[in-house]
């Protein structure tokens, strides 16, 4: 039986096990939408802006570990996804983006709603395709999903001209994939693994620095085993939060610019840094030359380009994090005369414990105005780490990372690499679609929530009960903090003079709205908001000039921290 390109695409999505598509129709993809009702297993969520669609697909992917799918039309529909594509690319999130394109005879003619999205997106996708013949469609979709989820995951874009969607062919889904140019290395090199175990055996002050790669390779369990068995303290990047239980005594909290004192000091004094699925981002390392100055560095990463990009590495292991950690475990299990780890690392653990005791994360409580950190603490208390937390970007994001604890992978979704304001809310929608029964909370700022607030219509229309907690300080808080500390308090263009009434805004969309101004009411109102059946906004009026501490000024050494 012959099918149109549009039907072939939808058949492919079924074969890939896709359940949810986030999208926005338009002339170039109207054929896909025309056939969509024939495929009731594919649930389509109509967003209000294409950026919402790609972030929702990304949030879905981060929460589930599966490939998120986003479907938009050509031209502006396609370009509106670019920020979200770059977001997914920087954080290595598997997303397949289907864009419509003008009919092939019109390509290059500046046709209506034509844009070279393959060219535009090239620097921020793992790979992309322009399908020119309907006969190529099935294998391209198969490859796109395969590329998105394997190796170092990432976004893959497929551009579909309208005439290809209308052309007919016999649908046949290829069973296997062979690509001579793409064979990610997943198994660790045995000799390198042996070197690591040798270093572990000799080290007296080891430290694990884990990143998003541990989460994307589902290596949380292996990491936890290694650290608990060998008594190694753990710190992680923003992207790595949740891979190691946040209530474990070995957990030091996040490192880097707004990392904990203990984590950053530990980096400064460790003799063996075990970097797993992390890429030594500048927000993590601070001044490179004083990063882990006395350590030998082991770097495990599936992407060879991550290794030695920023720091010198003594033992590189190009492999899937999970397989590499398993390899280390197996090697340790056959290793004779291992030290008594507790004893060997005791002085180090005591030192680290002292740093934790002397300089914990803290803030000064006040009843009114409310302190934002207090709100995050309350959210954690009420949810006990069971909720999926997304964030926007800025102070809200850092407080969410600092003052919550994450016990499980895929429960903290945030734009790490690109720092995309407006990410949290649509991502929360994506996560909630995947887990309708979980509590999903977007911790937001008053600035960034306004970047994709239109998705409230999406949340309301599908009854996606996402809760938004706005830490409303009336500022673009993180930039204001930099202006205060490094630019002589010149608060140029960071004051949000005319914020909307967020309660009324929620109500205008048909969601529930709440406002809190006193600390004593925070718990009650949060409970109330979490209990309403649909989406809700809680507008928490917080201290306008509260800062995120500790802070390592950009370009300074990690041990050079501004404390509270």
Partner 1 sequence: MRHVLSVLVENEPGVLSRVVGLFSGRGFNIETLNVGPTLEDGLSLMTITTSGEEQIIEQITKQLRKLVTVVKVVDLTHLQSVEREMVLIKVNAEDERRAEVLRIADIFRCKVVDVSGNDLTLEITGDQGKIRAIVSLLQRFGIKEFARTGTVAMRRSMQVD
Show the 3-state SS of 25-91: CCHHHHHHHHHHHHCCCCEEEECCCHHHHHHHHHHHHHHHCCCEEEEECCCHHHHCCHHHHHHHHHC
DSSP H or E stretch at residue 234 = strand 234-236
Residue 119 binds to partner 1 (criterion: CB under 8 A): yes
Residue 105 binds to partner 1 (criterion: CB under 8 A): no
543 SS3 class: coil
Residue 179 binds to partner 1 (criterion: CB under 8 A): yes
Stretch that binds partner 1, among 299-307, 338-346, 463-471, 482-490 (CB under 8 A): 299-307
117 SS3 class: helix
Contact 53, 76 (CB under 8 A): no
Q: Is 50 marked active-site?
A: yes
Residue 182 binds to partner 1 (criterion: CB under 8 A): yes
Measure the CA–CA gap between 29 and 74, rounded to whole angstroms: 8
User: C-beta of 80: minimal distance to partner 1 in Å?
Assistant: 22
Q: Is 45 marked active-site?
A: no
Q: Give 119 or 544: the residue with its C-beta nearer to partner 1.
A: 119
- Spot the catalytic one: 15, 19, 113, 166: 113
Residue 178 binds to partner 1 (criterion: CB under 8 A): no
In angstroms, the Cα distances linking 252 to 223, 263, 334, 384, 404 are 15, 5, 30, 19, 13
Measure the CA–CA gap between 412 and 415, rounded to whole angstroms: 10
Q: Is 24 marked active-site?
A: no
User: C-beta of 125: minimal distance to partner 1 in Å?
Assistant: 10
**In the structure encoding, which two tokens stand for residue 469, read together?**
């907690």
Stretch that binds partner 1, among 302-310, 486-494, 519-527, 529-537 (CB under 8 A): 302-310
Q: Give 52 or 151: the residue with its C-beta nearer to partner 1.
A: 151
- The neighbouring-strand residues paired with 368 are none
- Spot the catalytic one: 398, 478, 551, 561: 478
Q: Give 314 or 523: the residue with its C-beta nearer to partner 1.
A: 314
End-to-end CA distance of the chain: 69
User: C-beta of 164: minimal distance to partner 1 in Å?
Assistant: 15
- Spot the catalytic one: 126, 162, 378, 467: 162
User: C-beta of 306: minimal distance to partner 1 in Å?
Assistant: 9
Residue 130 binds to partner 1 (criterion: CB under 8 A): yes
Q: How many CB atoms lie within 10 A of CB 349?
A: 17
User: C-beta of 177: minimal distance to partner 1 in Å?
Assistant: 12
Stretch that binds partner 1, among 96-104, 125-133, 351-359, 453-461 (CB under 8 A): 125-133
Residue 309 binds to partner 1 (criterion: CB under 8 A): yes
User: C-beta of 151: minimal distance to partner 1 in Å?
Assistant: 9
User: C-beta of 127: minimal distance to partner 1 in Å?
Assistant: 4
Q: Residue written as tokens 């600035």?
A: 447
Residue 126 binds to partner 1 (criterion: CB under 8 A): yes
- Spot the catalytic one: 11, 50, 114, 331: 50
**In the structure encoding, which two tokens stand for residue 35, read together?**
């056939």
> For 417, which DSSP code?
S
Residue 342 binds to partner 1 (criterion: CB under 8 A): no
Q: Is 456 marked active-site?
A: no
The vertex-250 CA angle with 244 and 254, nearest 5°, equals 60
In angstroms, the Cα distances linking 233 to 262, 356, 458 are 10, 11, 43
Contact 103, 163 (CB under 8 A): yes
Q: Is 162 marked active-site?
A: yes
Given 1, 37, 110, 123, the residue binding partner 1 (CB under 8 A): 123
Q: Give 143 or 432: the residue with its C-beta nearer to partner 1.
A: 143
Residues designated as active site = 50, 112-113, 162, 478
* Interface contacts to partner 1, rule CB under 8 A: 118-119, 122-123, 126-127, 130, 147, 179-182, 303-305, 308-309
């Amino acid at each position: 039986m012959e099918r149109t390109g549009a039907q072939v695409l939808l058949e492919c999505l079924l074969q890939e096990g896709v359940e949810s598509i986030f999208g926005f129709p338009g002339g170039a993809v109207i054929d896909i939408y025309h056939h969509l009702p024939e495929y009731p297993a594919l649930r389509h969520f109509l967003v209000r802006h294409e950026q919402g669609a790609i972030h929702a697909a990304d949030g879905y992917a981060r929460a589930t570990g599966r490939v998120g799918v986003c479907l938009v039309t050509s031209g502006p529909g396609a370009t509106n996804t670019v920020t979200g594509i770059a977001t997914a690319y920087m954080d290595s999130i598997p997303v397949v983006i289907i864009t419509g394109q003008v009919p092939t005879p019109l390509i290059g003619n500046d046709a209506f709603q034509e844009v070279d999205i393959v060219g535009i997106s090239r620097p921020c996708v793992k790979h992309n395709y322009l399908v020119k013949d309907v006969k190529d469609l099935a294998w391209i979709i198969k490859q796109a999903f395969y590329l998105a989820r394997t190796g170092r995951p990432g976004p893959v874009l497929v551009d579909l001209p309208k005439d290809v969607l209308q052309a007919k062919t016999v649908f046949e889904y290829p069973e296997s994939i062979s690509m001579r140019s793409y064979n990610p290395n997943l198994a660790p090199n045995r000799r390198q693994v042996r070197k690591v175990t040798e270093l572990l055996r000799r080290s007296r002050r080891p430290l694990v620095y884990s990143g998003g790669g541990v989460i994307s390779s589902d290596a949380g369990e292996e990491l936890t085993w290694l650290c608990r068995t060998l008594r190694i303290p753990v710190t992680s990047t923003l992207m790595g939060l949740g891979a190691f239980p946040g209530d474990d005594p070995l957990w030091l909290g996040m490192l880097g610019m707004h990392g904990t004192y203990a984590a950053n000091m530990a980096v400064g004094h460790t003799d063996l840094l075990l970097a797993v699925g992390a890429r030594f981002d500048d927000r993590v390392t601070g001044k490179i030359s004083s990063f882990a100055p006395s350590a030998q560095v082991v770097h495990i990463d599936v992407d060879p380009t991550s290794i030695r990009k920023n720091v010198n590495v003594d033992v590189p292991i190009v492999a899937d994090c999970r397989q590499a950690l398993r390899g280390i475990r197996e090697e340790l299990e056959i290793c004779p005369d291992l030290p008594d780890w507790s004893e060997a690392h005791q002085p180090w653990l005591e030192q680290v414990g002292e740093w934790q005791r002397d300089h914990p994360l803290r803030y000064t409580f006040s009843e009114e105005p409310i302190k934002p950190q207090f709100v995050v603490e309350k959210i954690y208390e009420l949810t006990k780490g069971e909720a999926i937390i997304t964030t926007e970007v800025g102070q809200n994001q850092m407080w969410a990372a600092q003052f919550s604890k994450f016990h499980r992978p895929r429960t903290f979704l945030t734009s790490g690499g690109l720092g995309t304001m407006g990410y949290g809310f649509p991502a929360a929608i994506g996560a909630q679609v995947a887990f309708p029964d979980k509590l999903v909370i977007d911790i937001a700022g008053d600035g960034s929530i306004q970047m994709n607030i239109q998705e409230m219509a999406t949340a309301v229309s599908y009854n996606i009960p996402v809760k938004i907690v706005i830490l409303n300080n009336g500022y673009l808080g993180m930039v204001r903090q930099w202006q205060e500390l490094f630019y002589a308090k010149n608060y140029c263009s960071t004051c949000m003079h005319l914020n909307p009434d967020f309660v009324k805004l929620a109500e205008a969309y048909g969601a529930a709205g709440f406002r809190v101004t006193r600390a004593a009411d925070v718990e009650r109102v949060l409970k109330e908001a979490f209990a309403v059946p649909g989406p809700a906004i809680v507008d928490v009026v917080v201290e306008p000039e509260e800062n995120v501490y500790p802070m390592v000024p950009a370009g300074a050494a990690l041990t050079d921290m501004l404390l509270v």
